């Protein structure tokens, strides 16, 4: 009886130690996996700090300007448009919705654009689509003073185009947009100019 009790007690100790060892090993494996993934991944999942440089563009804007079109498409035209930019997708992207008013030769146009930051290539990135079937994507090295230069590739009116957009934040409530198209390698032609003002009380 005593020997049986000893064996039972010994067996219970072995079971407890085995369970504790397995639990510790499991915790160790989880810790190793957590460390291999860079620690607390949930805490690390946050927008890159570089995006704060785009904060000045957040808000609602009203723009007036000119569009330079070929003579057969109406030539130079005065345009009016609105644009609302806000942070979205957990703060990883700035999303802009814009709309240009109808002119004598151009229908009303709408579009969506997105600005973000590529942490691998260390570049700001953009992409956009419009209601005319146009699409584009581009990148920027970041601000040079108060100026941003975006180099873009896309399709506009059924044609492949290389464009360059310069956005200048002249003050917290005003910005200038200048669009150019590469007519031939190294030769840039004006495409549009816009002056925009931010709606008061909107940030």
Q: How confident is the model at residue 158 (pLDDT cuts 50, 70, 90)?
A: confident
> Which range among 40-44, 190-194, 196-200 shows the weakest confidence by mean pLDDT?
40-44
**Ranges 27-41, 114-128, 182-196: which has the least confidence:** 27-41
| Separation of alpha carbons 179 and 111, rounded Å | 16
> What is the full DSSP assignment across 168-197?
EEEETTEEEEEEEEEEETTEEEEEEEEEEE
Q: Which of 23-32, 67-76, 104-113 has the highest mean pLDDT?
A: 104-113
Q: What is the pLDDT of residue 77?
A: 85
* Count, residues in the chain: 203
Structure confidence at residue 133 (pLDDT): 94
- Sequence-ordered list of residues with C-beta below 8 angstroms from that of 183, at least 6 positions apart, any chain: 189
pLDDT in tens, 14-62: 433 444 445 545 555 555 555 445 455 555 689 999 999 999 999 999 9
195 vs 6, which has greater pLDDT?
A: 195
Q: Is the pLDDT assigned to residue 89 strictly greater than 50?
A: yes
Q: How does the average pLDDT of the chain come out, rounded?
A: 83
* H helix count then E strand count, the chain: 2, 10
């Amino acid at each position: 009886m005593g020997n049986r009790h000893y064996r039972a007690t010994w067996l219970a100790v072995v079971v407890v130690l085995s369970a504790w060892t397995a639990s510790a090993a499991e915790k160790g494996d989880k810790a190793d996996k957590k460390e291999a993934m860079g620690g607390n991944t949930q805490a690390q999942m946050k927008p890159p700090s570089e995006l704060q440089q785009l904060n000045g563009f957040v808000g609602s804007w009203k723009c007036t300007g000119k569009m330079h079109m070929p003579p057969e498409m109406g030539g130079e035209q005065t345009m009016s448009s609105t644009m609302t930019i806000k942070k979205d997708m957990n703060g990883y992207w700035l999303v802009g919705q814009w709309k240009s008013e109808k002119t004598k030769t151009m229908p009303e146009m709408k579009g969506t654009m997105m600005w973000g930051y590529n942490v691998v290539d260390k570049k700001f990135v953009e992409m956009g689509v419009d209601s005319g079937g146009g699409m584009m994507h581009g990148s920027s090295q970041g601000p040079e003073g108060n100026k941003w230069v975006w180099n873009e590739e896309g399709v506009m009116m059924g044609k492949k185009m290389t464009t360059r957009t310069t956005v200048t934040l002249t003050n917290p409530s005003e910005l200038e947009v200048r669009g150019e198209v590469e007519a031939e390698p190294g030769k840039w032609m004006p495409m549009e100019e816009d002056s925009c003002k931010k709606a008061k009380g909107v940030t």
